[in-house]
């Protein structure tokens, strides 16, 4: 019997982790009594931007677990995680805005589906990249890119630009309020 490749195994586990933990993160800000600390990694409103945190931070919380098992199996771990999360976030945005453009409305089913599709794509891209050998500098750049993206996600919770991406369509407000 063939044993599952450890990279594939951990990326499949990660896919389910992202979907489950990301779904729970949707509620943690409210559950925390609107804690500003929790606002760093959980959506504070129903804007598209805030919901991008669901994928990023669920993946971030999985990385220390996964890295422990894969650090000797790949030298492109952080590039894989960075490219994976970027593909997830772009997928979510493309699906959301395409649906909104065509039907001029939002759909909870479409938004949930885009999150799941994004999580699957994130992990599939991670598999491909983790199986590619790269130099150490490129992997460090992947780590810097990944961390920077998380910082930007949290920063715009507290200092959101007045753009539609950052507006809660229910309240017409931006960021944490």
CA geometry: angle 75, 81, 87, nearest 5 deg = 135
What is the DSSP annotation of 82-128?
Answer: HHHHHHHHHHHHHHHHHHHHHHSS--HHHHHHHHHHHHHHHHHHHHH
d(CA 51, CA 170): 14
> What is the token pair recorded at 160?
């959101």
Q: Look at 172 and 106; give whichever has higher pLDDT.
A: 172
DSSP 42: S
pLDDT tens per residue, range 139-173: 999 999 999 999 999 999 999 999 999 999 899 99
**Is the per-residue pLDDT at 3 higher than 80?**
no
DSSP 165: G
Mean per-residue pLDDT, 20-27: 97
**Is the per-residue pLDDT at 1 higher than 50?**
no
Mean per-residue pLDDT, 15-43: 97
How confident is the model at residue 4, as a pLDDT? 79
Cβ contacts of 32-36, under 8 Å, gap ≥ 24:
36/176
Q: Look at 22 and 1; give whichever has higher pLDDT.
A: 22
The alpha carbon of residue 128 and the mean position of all alpha carbons in its chain are separated, in whole angstroms, by 18
Mean per-residue pLDDT, 121-137: 95
CB 26 within 8 A of CB 54: yes
d(CA 62, CA 75): 18
């Amino acid at each position: 019997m063939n044993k599952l490749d450890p990279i594939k195994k951990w990326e499949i586990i990660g896919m389910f982790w992202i979907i489950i933990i990301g779904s729970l993160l949707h509620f943690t800000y409210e559950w925390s009594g609107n804690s500003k600390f929790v606002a760093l990694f959980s959506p504070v409103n129903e804007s598209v931007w805030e919901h991008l945190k669901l994928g990023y931070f669920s993946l971030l919380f999985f990385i220390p677990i996964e890295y422990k098992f894969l650090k000797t199996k790949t030298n492109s771990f952080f590039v894989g995680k960075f490219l994976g999360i970027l593909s997830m976030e772009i997928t979510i945005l493309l699906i959301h805005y395409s649906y909104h453009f065509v039907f001029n409305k939002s759909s909870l089913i479409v938004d949930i589906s885009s999150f799941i599709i994004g999580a699957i794509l994130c992990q599939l891209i991670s598999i491909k990249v983790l199986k590619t050998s790269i130099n150490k500098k490129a992997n460090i750049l992947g780590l810097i890119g990944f961390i920077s993206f998380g910082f930007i996600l949290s920063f715009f919770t507290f200092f959101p630009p007045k753009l539609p991406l950052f507006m809660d369509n229910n309240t017409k407000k931006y960021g944490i309020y």
